[in-house]
C-alpha cells in the first residue's frame, strides 16, 4: 500500500471522520463503520485533506485535466482544497467548479455554477466524499454534461466502501458503487483508499488496534451480507 494511503487512513481516524460502532446509513443498512467528511473543520485538516486527494488524483488520472468539479454541498470545500493542493504539489493550475442547489438569478455570477465556468473541451474530474450506492452521480453528471461539451476523465472519492450497489451489473452480477458509475457512464471511478485497505492498516489481532477482533468480526459479517 502506498505511503499516502496509510497516512490518509490514520488521518481519517485522527480527525474522527472514520468511526466504528453501529450506524444506520441513508440506504437503511446497519453498518459497523461510518465516514463523515463534514468532520474536517480546521485549516490544517482541510490542507492535508486536499493534499491526499491531489495525490490520489495524480496517481489515478495524471495531470491531463482542466477542472475539478465538486457537487454541492460537501464537494465545494473538497474541490477548493484539492485545487490549491494540486498547484502546490504538482505545479499545475487547475480550476474548481461547483454547483448551487438553486440557480442564482442576479449579479455577475448568476446561474447554477460557482467558481470557474465549464467550457467546451474542458477535461473534468468529479470529486466527492464517499458514495454507497453510486447514485449521487446521477444528479451530478447531467449538471456537468449540460453546462458545456466537456469530457469527464473520472471521479474520485475518499473511501471505496466496497459494498453492493442496488443495481446489478450488465452481466447480472452484484457490483460496487464505483463499478456501477464506470459501467453506466464510461469513466473510471476511484477512491483514495478502499475499506479493505483500511482494515489492513488498522486491524491488529487482539485489542491493540483501532479495529479490534470484535469490530473485525462485525465488519466481516457486514461484508458477507453486503460486500462485492
Q: Residue 93's closest CA among 67, 62, 60, 127?
A: 67
- Mean pLDDT for 121-140 is 90
For residue 85, CA distances in Å to 21, 58, 80, 93 come to 32, 11, 9, 10
Has residue 106 got a pLDDT over 60? no
Q: Residue 32's closest CA among 225, 167, 177?
A: 225
What is the reported pLDDT for 228? 85
* pLDDT tens for each residue of 159-216: 999 998 888 878 888 899 999 999 999 999 999 999 999 999 999 876 678 999 999 9
What is the reported pLDDT for 108? 46
Q: Which residues are catalytic?
A: 104, 106
Q: Residue 50's closest CA among 65, 28, 70?
A: 70
What is the reported pLDDT for 111? 61
* pLDDT tens for each residue of 87-97: 999 999 999 99
Amino acid at each position: 500500500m502506498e505511503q499516502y494511503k496509510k497516512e490518509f487512513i490514520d488521518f481519517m481516524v485522527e480527525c474522527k471522520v472514520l468511526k466504528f460502532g453501529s450506524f444506520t446509513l441513508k440506504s437503511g443498512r446497519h453498518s459497523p463503520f461510518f465516514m463523515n467528511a463534514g468532520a474536517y473543520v480546521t485549516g490544517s485538516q482541510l490542507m492535508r485533506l486536499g493534499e491526499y486527494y491531489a495525490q490520489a488524483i495524480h496517481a489515478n488520472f495524471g495531470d491531463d485535466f482542466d477542472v475539478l468539479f465538486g457537487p454541492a454541498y460537501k464537494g465545494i470545500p473538497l474541490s477548493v482544497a484539492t485545487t490549491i493542493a494540486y498547484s502546490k504539489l504538482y505545479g499545475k493550475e487547475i480550476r474548481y467548479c461547483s454547483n448551487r442547489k438553486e440557480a442564482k438569478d442576479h449579479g455577475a455570477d448568476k446561474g447554477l455554477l460557482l467558481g470557474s465556468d465549464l467550457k467546451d473541451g474542458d477535461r473534468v474530474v468529479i470529486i466527492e466524499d464517499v458514495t454507497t450506492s453510486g447514485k449521487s452521480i446521477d444528479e451530478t453528471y447531467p449538471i456537468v454534461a449540460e453546462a458545456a461539451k466537456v469530457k469527464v476523465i473520472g471521479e474520485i472519492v475518499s473511501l471505496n466502501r466496497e459494498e453492493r450497489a442496488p443495481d446489478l451489473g450488465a452481466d447480472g452480477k452484484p457490483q460496487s458503487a464505483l463499478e456501477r458509475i464506470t459501467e453506466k457512464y464510461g469513466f473510471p471511478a476511484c477512491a483514495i483508499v478502499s475499506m479493505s485497505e483500511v482494515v489492513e492498516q488498522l486491524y491488529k489481532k487482539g485489542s491493540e488496534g483501532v479495529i479490534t477482533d470484535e469490530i473485525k468480526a462485525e465488519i466481516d459479517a457486514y461484508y458477507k451480507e453486503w460486500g462485492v
